[in-house]
Structure 1
Amino acid sequence: MITIDAFNEFLTKIDHPSQRERIEEVLSWISETFPQLNKEIKWNQPMFIDHGTYIIGFSLAKQHLAVAPEGVTIAKFSEQISKAGYTHTKQLFRIGWEQPVDYNLLKEIIQFNIEDKADATKFWR
């Protein structure tokens, strides 16, 4: 597994080995699939940024990995998120620690945000 330097400090603070491995796997996959995105930690959360605008971020909870692509994106992909077996709020969706990661869905969500925010001049929508 490739460790992402920008996220090392965040990853070393995760006590549960399987959770650390899962988030590292997801972050590495995004880094390899979208190498143009900048990796940053803001508000103690790993995030991917494109030309100064937020694309996607993650946080950890006891039962799940929270994926936050912004509300516009959750609304657009709500049905697909539910079909993947994930629950969601207006701002994030949850991948249970025992659930598989739907990388095709994750790729579509990130690609949508990159394209939708191509002309964005602010961090948030």
Structure 2
Amino acid sequence: METFADFLQSLDDETQKQKLGDLFNFIDSEFPNIDKRIAWNQPMYTDHDTFIIGFSVAKNHISVAPEKAGLRQFEREIKENNYELLKEIFKIKKSQPINKELIRDMIAFNIEDKKNCKTFWRK
């Protein structure tokens, strides 16, 4: 798997395929200068070779991983959307809408917060 299109094609669930496709298009239009890559079989966005946000798919949910700092910064908004907040990720159930503005705000936060970061992950 080399591209986001490959990743989407690998999904069996049409609902998740559509939701993620729409989300990726939204992110691409909001942040045309960040990079996309597939790593660990998951789509992720990076900026100057540092991790910004990643996604994975399970049968009944989409997992969103903005690193702990991104989760803690938006903990209230994650809970207000009734998403399941875990230690390193939050889950959006298949039946829930994706709050694209929340994802946009997380990406913007990580880009700014990691602008001087020289490593892939925060230390």
TM-score, normalised to structure 2, is 0.94
Q: Work out the CA distance in 1 between the residues paired with 2:14 and 2:80.
A: 28
Give the counterpart of 1:19 among 10, 16, 37: 16
Q: Which residue of 1 aligns with 2:97?
A: 100
Q: After the TM superposition, list the runs of 4 or more consecutive aligned residues in structure 1 that deviate by more than 2 angstroms.
A: none
Q: CA deviation at 1:20?
A: 0.9
The amino acid across from 1:118 in the alignment is: K
Bigger shift: residues 47-56 or 73-82: 73-82
* 2:28 pairs with 1:36: no
Give the % identical residues. 40
Q: Work out the CA distance in 2 between the residues paired with 1:55 and 1:124.
A: 9
Q: Work out the CA distance in 2 between the residues paired with 1:9 and 1:77.
A: 30
Q: CA deviation at 1:14?
A: 0.5
TM-score, normalised to structure 1, is 0.92
What residue ranges of structure 2 are gaps of 5+ in the alignment? none
* 2:69 pairs with 1:62: no
Q: Which residue of 2 aligns with 1:8?
A: 5
SS at match of 2:103: helix
Q: Work out the CA distance in 1 between the residues paired with 2:18 and 2:102.
A: 20
The count of aligned residue pairs is 121
Q: CA deviation at 1:6?
A: 2.8
